[in-house]
Chain A
Amino acid sequence: MEDLKRLEEFQAKIDAGEKIEPKDWMPDAYRKNLIRMMSQHAHSEIVGMLPEGNWIQRAPSLRRKLIATAKVQDEAGHGLYLYSAAETLGASREELLEALHNGKAKYSSIFNYPTLTWADMGAVGWLVDGAAMVNQVSLIGTSYGPYSRAMVRICREEAFHNRQGYEIIAELCNGTEEQKEMAQDALNRWWWPSIMMFGPSDADSPHSEQALKWGIKAEGNDSLRQKFITMTVPQAHARGLTIPDPDLKYNEETKQWEFGEVDWDEFFNVIKGNGIMNRKRLKDRNAAHDNGKWVRDAAAAYALKKKTKVA
């Protein structure tokens, strides 16, 4: 009875657009749903460092190398905020990482695709960060305070990454034939996976409905996907690039770009671990963690010694 009343008050607060803060009462399912979302988001940031880190050493100019390095550093920073934000819900970074490393937790499936050419650094910034940004701008409106505030800061940096990615693509499109082909090829490979980043259609998305009711998500998958497509198609056309979707057409009435059938079979398979890079990404994350154990142990032992000395 008590719980029902608290639940009503909780829902009323959300409906009134107020933020929920760490010390406020919240239903267990709300807490769990948020931990799941925020940790997936944090994991995506740190796994996402791998496909981009793959190109830092090969960036083709000093300027590009500086930008690429700074960008991957930003992703690490985002990971750190998000793990800290998730800690306000009582989930420790260690347990969240453990779930990532043993394969129980998910991260954005997009990072299970390989970065094959330099143009992929452009495509990842332009499309992947672009899609992430559309999603994250909407998450500024999330009902959980710490998550919302983390999003404000992260979105600012993602907007920057998105512009830099597009700039790489633009530079390639202005370049030699070979460079143009490289840009088109990257778009061909990254377009559909980027569209899939918004998750399955709301009708097939298991977490969507409750997440919307509680204001965890502010907008559904389909509407965010449409926003991204309508924003991105003209950017591709402006550079003379072709979107790899023969069914793509502009609807004069709705002012939206309508798109073809998404291959959800591929999406669910990559989520299940059958993407070309799934194993390698987890192997690299695990290796970094395992190889770093002696370092973390040393730091802990040193801190303990210092503490005992003071005491």
Chain B
Amino acid sequence: MYTDEIKEAQKEYLLRLADDRMILSQRLSELCGHGPILEEDIALTNISLDLLGQAKLYYEKVAELSDEEVTADDWVFFRDEREYWNVLLVELDNEDFAHTIVKQLIFDVFEILLYGEMINSKDADLKAIAEKSIKETKYHLRHSHEWMLRLGGGTEESNRRLRDAIEFLWQYTGELFYTDEVDDILVGAGIAPDVSKFRDEYYKTLNKILVESELEEMDPNVWMQSGGRDGRHTEYMGHILATMQYLPRSMPDAQW
């Protein structure tokens, strides 16, 4: 049995993992039926579906750990933007296909490394989720990586769009490595991975892919945006939640 301190930290930690995937999935689902080619409609929807499935597992575990009667859905549909803990990266606008791919790449490389550590978690549930998810993430990374090569090495226009995307999205990579006492407690207990351990490898991997994609390397030690883990979001966030939550909120007694 975990101490109350660990239990509280775990709830917080799981919500962060869940919210990242929930909002990224929501953003990806906007593209459904609007992709550049039918195969991409299928691929992006599939990735959205995987992320949604992962988010659901985390929310369900949070609900289990809660003393009150709450369901996974309550966490999704009845929290406001100041109570959502996702990183800013995942809520950003889709803009164009280059932004979508770069956003996914930034997230996928992180996820591979995170899950690569989390499969050693002392928490059996977290370990199981990591083992299931890392398989999905390998596909996601292969997808974003392959498109990086094509867009970077394709035409002048695609290279320029890809460069614009990475130059804009780079400032949102730093927040993935945000830690506070929640992480300290769980890393100490052998439950959560220590993300600082793979920060160098993360940036090395990203930069390697950038170079392969005929782009310049980027500097990890520049000003980075943050605030998501504290519920300070971009202006996009309120609109995402308004869309996502309106139905259960307009009929709070209804079952769906």
Chain A interface helix/strand/loop/mixed? helix
Chain A 75-93 per-residue mask, 1 if CB under 8 angstroms from chain B, else 0:
0110110010000000001
In the assembled complex, the Cα of A295 lies from the Cα of B243 at a distance in Å of 29
Task: Choose from A53, A77, A118, A171 the contact partner of B42 (Cβ within 8 Å).
Answer: A77
CA distance A86 to B48 in the complex (A): 29
Within 8 A of B (CB), among A40-79: 46, 49-50, 53, 56-62, 64-66, 69-70, 72-73, 76-77, 79
Is A27's beta carbon under 8 Å from chain B?
no
* Interchain CB contact (< 8 A) of A57 among B26, B40, B251: B26
Candidates B33, B38, B253; contact of A284 at CB < 8 Å: B33
Q: Name the one of B53, B59, B155, B254 contacting A175, with C-beta atoms under 8 angstroms.
A: B254
B56: CB under 8 A from chain A? yes
Within residues 24 to 74 of chain B, which ones have a CB less than 8 A from any CB in chain A?
A: 26, 29-30, 32-42, 45-46, 48-49, 52-53, 55-56, 59, 72-73
Q: In the complex the two chains form, is A294's CB within 8 Å of B38's CB? A: no
Which residue of chain B is the closest to A176 with respect to CB atoms? B254
Chain B residue nearest to A46 in the complex (CB): B38
Interface size on A, residues (CB 8 A): 48
Partner of A294, one of B34, B46, B158, B255: B158
Pair A69/B149 contact, Cβ less than 8 Å: no
Q: With A69-B45, A69-B52, A298-B150 known to touch, is A57 a contact of B30 (CB < 8 Å)?
A: yes
Does B56 lie within 8 Å of A50, measured CB to CB? no
Given A58-B246, A294-B161, A302 and B149 contact (CB-CB distance below 8 Å) = yes
Contact with A along B238-254 (1 / 0, CB 8 A): 00000110111001011
- Does residue B77 face the partner (Cβ distance < 8 Å to A)? yes
Query: Of A62, A80, A287, which contacts B52 at CB under 8 A?
Result: A62
CB distance from B81 to the nearest CB of A (A): 16
CB within 8 Å of B: which A284-311 residues = 284, 287-289, 291-302, 305
B29 touches A57 (CB 8 A): yes
Residues of B within 8 A of A65 (CB): 29, 52
Tell me which residues across on chain B come within 8 A of A59, comparing CB atoms: 247
Residues on the A chain within 8 Å of B73, using CB: 61-62
A179 within 8 A of B: yes
How far, in angstroms, from A68 to B154 measured CA to CA in the complex?
A: 34
B26 to chain A: closest residue by CB: A57
Which residues of B have CB within 8 Å of A60?
Answer: 77, 247-248, 254, 256
- Asked whether, in the complex, the Cβ of B150 is within 8 Å of the Cβ of A299, the reply is yes
In the complex where A58-B243, A58-B246 touch, is A305 in contact with B157 (Cβ < 8 A)? Answer: no
Indicate if the CB atoms of A66 and B49 lie closer than 8 Å.
yes
The B-contacting residues of A in range 151-188, CB under 8 angstroms, are 171, 174-176, 178-179
Pick the most buried of A57, A93, A293: most chain B CB atoms within 10 A of its CB. Answer: A57
Q: Which chain B residue has the least Cβ–Cβ distance from A305? A: B153
**Assuming the A-B contacts A57-B29, A58-B243, are A73 and B52 also in contact, with contact meaning beta carbons closer than 8 angstroms in the complex?**
no
**Contacts A60-B256, A295-B37 known; A76 to B76 CB distance under 8 Å?**
no
Q: Is the beta-carbon distance between B29 and A80 smaller than 8 angstroms? A: no
The 8 Å CB contact of B158, one of A50, A70, A298, is A298
Which of chain A's residues have a CB closer than 8 A to the CB of B53?
66
- Flag whether B96 is at the interface (Cβ < 8 A): yes
In the assembly, what is the distance between CA of A69 and CA of B44, in Å?
Answer: 11
- Does the CB pair B151–A298 fall under 8 Å? yes
Best-buried of A49, A57, A171, A295 by chain B (most CB within 10 Å)? A295
- Assuming the contacts A61-B256, A301-B154, asked whether A76 and B38 have C-beta atoms less than 8 A apart, the reply is yes
Tell me whether B13 is interfacial, beta carbon within 8 Å. Answer: no
Expressed in whole angstroms, the Cα–Cα distance for A287 and B42 within the complex equals: 18
Which residues of A have CB within 8 Å of B46? 73
Interfacial residues, chain A to chain B (CB-CB below 8 A): 46, 49-50, 53, 56-62, 64-66, 69-70, 72-73, 76-77, 79-80, 83, 93, 118, 171, 174-176, 178-179, 284, 287-289, 291-302, 305
Kindly list the 8 A-B residue pairs having the minimum CB-CB distance in the complex, ordered from nearest: A292-B36, A298-B154, A298-B158, A49-B33, A295-B36, A60-B256, A60-B247, A73-B45
21 interchain pairs (CB within 8 A)? A46-B33, A46-B38, A53-B32, A56-B29, A57-B26, A57-B30, A58-B246, A60-B247, A60-B256, A65-B29, A66-B52, A66-B56, A69-B45, A69-B52, A72-B33, A73-B32, A292-B37, A297-B158, A299-B154, A300-B154, A301-B158
